Structure 1
Amino acid sequence: MLQPTIALSMTEAEYMTAVETAKEAIRSTGLDHELGVEQEESQGWRDNLPPGPLNLPMIGSLHRLGSAPHLLLAELARQHGPIIYVRLGELPTCVLSSAEMAKEALKMHDAALASRRTLCATQQLFYGSTDIAFAPYGPYWRQDMFATGTDTTFITLDWGMTELIRNPRAMKKAQDHIRSKIGHKEQIEESDLQELDYLRAVVKEIFRLHPAAPVLLPHLSMEDVKIGEYNIPAKIQFFVNVWAIGRNPKSWDNPEEFCPERFMNSLIDFKGQDYELLPFGVGRQSCPAITFGAATVELAFANLLYHFNWELPPGVRPEEFDLTEVLGITMHRKEHLVVVAKPYN
């Protein structure tokens, strides 16, 4: 699997020139204090903050993100380290890209980072930010509402079938495993899943390589916290780049390779206790439907692989697949997967 690369468009000298030019233009209007041009210098915002890229006035690093922000943030982590500081517009932001940093932040400071920032978009689209994904932490959120979506299930199935088609050895092993364990049944049921350990390893590997939400919804610090050697003030939002964590070579051997066997005889799970694998988030703001969501995905895969043999259409080769990602809140494949299903007798 090819590792995406990001080419940054400006050198540091060019950035500094652009920053000073923008500041001078704003000062000439007399609105520099209102627009916060000197905010970082006057308030000491960069005192012992994590490293990160140069931020432009007003827009910060928004111009860098493009259509695949998880890839850009992963590249910035390779340049600056597993915890970085950026400004997205006027929003100060820390990004965590390693299991160690995610654990220190979200386990040691779970309560302090349990809230969400209220934005105009979430106010309008999610009932005044009362949807469980965007509600600030407090009495209303703790009333623990139930929500799940078919979108993330579909995304996981799509990426999973894509990887299995591209890796026929893993496909055959999964099908043989399921059919030998289940025997002859019209329908696999949830009670059968506990026997399907290799299928569970396949699902974990899909979650690792292709989390439906590659960057978790942001946490908001409600008080000052210390993470590693850095002091993080209150009101900074935290992004966890689970895509980068799942491909971090410090946590995984051959991280770009689809290899379900890495989870056989491994205690690593996706329920929020192992920070190497966080497709459903962690802590107070983790997905409340982890168990239901995982069982839905496993059950769908089990029936698809049990009842059908899968092939590509004539003339199509796995190496020709376009694996380009399209990112919204969730991460779809750009191209639709077209395969031929043949009933298994």
Structure 2
Amino acid sequence: MMMSIHWLWASLALAALGYFLQDLFLMKKRRGLPPGPKGLPVIGSLHLLGKNPHQDLAKLAKKHGPIMYMRFGYVPAIIVSSPEAAEKFLKTYDQVFAGRPYHEASWYIAYEQRNLTFGQYGPYWRNMRKLCILQLLSSHKINSFWPMRRQEVGTLVKSLKQAASDGAAVDLSALISSLGANMSCLMIFGQKYMDKDFDNRGFGEVIQEALHVGSTPNIGDYFPLLGVLDLQGLTRRFKALAKVFHDFFDKIIDDHLECKEQKQTKDFVDIMMEIIQSGTSAFEFDRRHVKAVLFDMLVASMGTSVTAVEWAILELLRHPAAMRKLQKELEEKVGLERIVEESDLEGLEYLDMVVKESMRLHPVGPLMLPHESIQDCTVDDFHIQKKSRIIINIYAIGRDPNVWPDPEAFIPERFKDSDIDLRGQDFRLIPFGSGRRICPGLQLGLTVVRFVLAQLVHCFSWELADNIQPTDLDMSEAFGLVNSRAKHLKVVPIYRLHK
């Protein structure tokens, strides 16, 4: 035991010495890099990040500029904080910065980063993305699931209508989360699963933990020599989470293989298993790849859309005039005799403005998943070295005063007669990213967010529980790969429709 402790301290001392010498070497290479805050020996700029890194980085960018150099441990990082700079990294030099860094959480949970979100850029990733877009996320496939979305949202409305009749307060955050889990399971797995079928903690809690630990600064990602020691205990948590997901996905796949029933609408697992069994894939595609993609689908569909809906509802509650304006549009376009249908969405202009404004202020991924440069590059006369981590601060871009007048205010009307879109072509508003790494589920996500939000606003008026005033709503964030609200939203629904 004593010998093991001595070896531990010896290893730490050698690692510290190695990092110190590397520090001296890096200082000599500093010329030509973008401006940025001066880091400390060994840890670099990690000490400058608090519980909300996107806000800390936005403040630093105001001082050092929209293209800023920082070092996290021994990982060089470029922080991008303006639309013009984002366009250069995500469009002009898109292919150079299309890589993904090593990410220990995804390495364990997503089968050595075989998923789309953290998969390494190359032929496999391009083929996998193409397959997912054509087979799983095409407009035709998304539209085929609209009866299911209608039924699940209708079930939620029925539950809230009963609460309204009873004058009862509800945990809207939990209800929206449950709705997201049900819709995700039906689209991906073909049926709903109870929380206990997944894990004792349930879908929501486990996925929130995965998003949290996945965004936690990990010594192993920034100090590779120290990663094996697991000083934070994160590796143990990654392995435990991986077992939960992998056991569940194995059960799902086995159930699909045993099922002989002919389905009218095939779910995502059906489609991927058919590809494996047909042997027609032009690249390696086996059970590991299926589970890695299922992980992406489940986490993305459950985590992002429901979070976006909650932020939008929160802003509408804080701004009653905007809520009334959206309800008036819904009354005029839909009427009070029926619920909203997905076919109504395209004609709801103010709804579109509300969604854009909410995503501007509260992007669900405030720091885009990090890109990595696959070769040396020069951007605006700055030298960007190979293996640099590129962090696009969507939060800062959405609050850039050079682009957005009164950037901290919730003003949906700013998008009236505006050509600003959020599908990745206009770098003033990129909540789904842009370029090669843009979110492939953009269309599905937008459909779910707009449909659920429209339904909640059209069918109900809302009063805050516990005598809380709209101006007193707590808007604090729980930072993660998906940036959710720190506290659950409790409200009293008031039914508005005539039926």
In structure 1, what is the equivalent of residue 156 of structure 2?
Answer: none
Residue equivalent to 1:22: none
1:121 matches 2:273:
no
Assess, with a 3 A threshold, how the Cα gap between structure 1 residues 55 and 209 changes in structure 2: closer, same or farther.
Answer: same
Unaligned runs of 5+ in 1: 1-28
Structure 1 residue 154: deviation in Å?
1.4
Question: What's the RMSD between the two structures over aligned residues?
Answer: 1.8
Q: 2:83 aligns with which of 92, 99, 117?
A: 99
Per-residue CA deviation, residues 228-266 of structure 1 (Å, 9 max, x unaligned), is 231111110100000010001011011011000011111
The question of whether the paired residues in 1 share the 8 Å contact of 2:79 and 2:392 is answered with: yes
- The reply to whether residue 76 of structure 1 matches residue 228 of structure 2 is no
- 1:33-56 Cα offsets, whole Å, 9 max, x none, are 732534554674311101111112
User: For 1:229, which of 371, 378, 381 is the aligned residue?
Assistant: 381
Matches within 5 A, 1:325-340: 325-340=477-492
- Asked if 2 retains the 8 angstrom alpha-carbon contact of 1:322 and 1:335, the reply is yes
Aligned to 1:47: 31
1:109 aligns with 2:93: yes
**Pairwise mapping of residues 310-321 of structure 1 onto structure 2 (< 5 A)?**
310-313=462-465, 315-321=467-473
Residue by residue, what CA displacement relative to the aligned partner does 1:125-163 show, whole Å, maximum 9, x if unpaired? 221111111001111111213533211111111111111
Residue 288 (structure 1) aligned with residue 440 (structure 2): yes
Alignment of 1:300 with 2:452, yes or no, is yes
Q: Is the aligned partner of 1:241 residue 2:393? A: yes
Correspondence for 1:255 among 407, 416, 423 = 407
Larger radius of gyration: 2
Query: Any idea what SS the aligned residue of 2:87 has?
Result: helix
Q: Does the Cα contact within 8 Å between 2:103 and 2:118 map onto a contact in 1?
A: no
- Residue-by-residue CA offset, 1:292-318 (whole Å, 9 max, x unaligned): 101110011111111111122362111
Q: CA deviation at 1:279?
A: 0.7
Q: Which runs of 5+ in 2 are unaligned?
A: 1-12, 137-296
Q: How many residues get paired? A: 318
1:37–1:58 contact (8 Å) kept in structure 2: no
The one-letter amino acid of 2:112's match is: G
- Counterparts of 1:107-256 in structure 2 under 5 Å? 107-143=91-127, 144=129, 145=132, 147=297, 148-184=300-336, 186-256=338-408
Which residue matches 2:148? none
Secondary structure at the counterpart of residue 490 of structure 2: coil
Taking the aligned partners of 2:370 and 2:495, their CA distance within structure 1 comes to: 44
Counterpart residue type for residue 368 of structure 2:
L
Q: Distance in 2 between matches of 1:130 and 1:30?
A: 33
Say which SS state the counterpart of residue 48 (structure 1) adopts. coil
The one-letter code matched in structure 1 to 2:423 is: K
The answer to whether the Cα contact below 8 Å between 2:336 and 2:496 also exists between their aligned partners in 1 is: no
Contact 1:166 1:319 in 2 (8 A): yes
- CA separation in 1, counterparts of 2:344 and 2:407? 30
The 1:43/1:166 distance shift into structure 2, 3 A limit, reads closer
- Overall identity of the aligned pairs, in %: 40
Which piece of structure 1 moves more, 113-122 or 277-286? 113-122
| Secondary structure of 1:288's aligned partner | coil
CA 42–183 in structure 1, closer or farther in 2 if over 3 Å, else same:
closer
Q: C-alpha displacement at 1:68, in angstroms?
A: 0.5
Q: Distance in 1 between matches of 2:124 and 2:343?
A: 35
What SS does structure 1 have at the residue aligned with 2:41?
Answer: coil
Asked whether 1:34 is paired with 2:18, we answer yes
The structural deviation recorded for 1:31 is 6.5
Aligned to 1:264: 416
Could you list the runs of 4 or more consecutive aligned residues of structure 1 that deviate by over 4 angstroms after TM superposition?
29-33
Measured in 1, the distance between the counterparts of 2:485 and 2:336 equals: 34
Q: Is the 8 A contact 1:40 1:46 kept in 2?
A: no
Indicate yes or no: 2:257 matched with 1:273.
no
Give the C-alpha shift of residue 291 in structure 1.
0.9
1:182 & 1:188 partners in 2: Cα distance? 7
State TM-score, norm by structure 2. 0.61
In structure 2, relative to structure 1, the CA distance for the partners of 1:37 and 1:296 (3 Å cut) is same
1:61 aligned residue: 45
8 Å contact from structure 1 (residues 52, 80) kept in 2: yes
Q: Distance in 2 between matches of 1:276 and 1:186?
A: 36
